[in-house]
Structure 1
């Protein structure tokens, strides 16, 4: 059985719900839904592009802590409160994943954990080595 590595971000949500920001088991890393949540409102304020960039940066940081990188990402999932922002979100995704091109899904949801949050992103990575 592979050793389980837990990566925490230290958010209050992790304590409330009992989950990890990311979990690595062997060559697989799963990153939980990341938002731009911050104590004084979301990073990027009401700008979905800025919030998306923050989400992807948090994923990148969690992957690195797990010994992985964006190059190892095979899947991303986006939950957005306004699907009409698809192209803007896509441009941010491309800026992080150009040349990697993971499988990706984007769906519109009625709400996220707080009304100020506009996007939540998950990622799965697989390390070849």
Structure 2
């Protein structure tokens, strides 16, 4: 099968050795995504805003790969404060309420920077036409 690596253009991809997303066949895997745009965190101290920004970024990557949110079959949500699950869940529901992919939300001790409250990964499978 043909492999397509999709880049966000950040220098970290080369340094760490990863891609924003990888598409093989009809499957797309999206790396952990945080609410950073133009090197700025969006939604400081607001997990709801961070989640919305992240999911919009994931939606944009899916479009680059020829897919949409409707193709998402799983999300993995990492939060630094599980007591904020309702805010994160509300934002997730605004994007996936009717799609309803499998999902997991887990609390982690920390993300790469302390201001990051949420990180999300996604898997999408494009249905054959």
Superposition TM-score tier, normalisation by shorter sequence: over 0.9
Describe how 1:31-42 pairs up with structure 2 within 5 A: 31-38=30-37, 41-42=40-41
TM-score (norm 2): 0.94
Task: Establish whether residue 82 from structure 1 lines up as the match of residue 78 from structure 2.
Answer: no
**Structure 1 vs Structure 2 CA RMSD:** 1.1
Cα distance change of structure 1 residues 91 and 101 upon mapping to structure 2, 3 Å threshold = same
Report how many residues are paired.
128
The answer on whether the counterparts of 1:4 and 1:26 sit within 8 Å (CA) in structure 2 is yes
| TM-score, with length taken from structure 1 | 0.94
Cα drift, residue 37 of structure 1: 2.5
Task: Give how far 1:12 is off.
Answer: 2.8
Is the CA contact 1:41–1:116 (under 8 Å) kept in the aligned structure 2? no
- Please give the per-residue CA displacement for 1:33-59, whole angstroms capped at 9, x wherever unaligned: 000124554111221111111111111
Q: Which region of structure 1 is more displaced relative to structure 2, 38-47 or 72-81?
A: 38-47
Structure 2: gaps spanning 5 or more residues: none
- Unpaired runs of at least 5, structure 1: none
Equivalent residue, structure 1, for 2:43:
44
